[in-house]
Amino acid sequence: MSESNGSSNRLVISQAMKALDELKYEVASELGITPPADGYWGNVSSYENGSIGGSITKKLVAFAQQHLAESMPNGE
């Protein structure tokens, strides 16, 4: 999730980079995937990287749903 990887993805909140990177390592650990010692994820299989990305997406969607539900007035 390095900013220098040539990706066109841009974070809306630049401070989120560290939190997303930590989430990547947390999810990898939960899935039993050993993070690369050098931090370069290019040698990790696409299946494993896809599993990590999918799990991160599920967690972020659940977080957003919870946040939205908590911000809604009662009865809506």
Query: What long-range pairs does 28-36 form, CB within 8 A, spacing at least 24?
Result: 28/52, 30/55, 31/55
Query: Residue 21 half-sphere exposure, CB side, CA atoms within 13 Å?
Result: 12
Per-residue pLDDT of 15-63, as tens digits, reads 888 899 999 999 999 999 999 999 899 999 999 999 999 999 999 999 9
- Could you write out the DSSP letters of every residue in 7-36? -----SSTTHHHHHHHHHHHHHHHTTPPPP
Residue 9: the pLDDT is 73
Residue 53 lies in a domain: yes
Query: Per the structure, how many domains does the chain have?
Result: 1
Residue 51 lies in a domain: yes
Residue 76: the pLDDT is 57
Q: Provide the domain limits for residue 62.
A: 16-71
Residue 63 lies in a domain: yes
Residue 3: the pLDDT is 47
- Residue 56 CA to residue 73 CA, distance in Å, equals 28
Residue 41 lies in a domain: yes
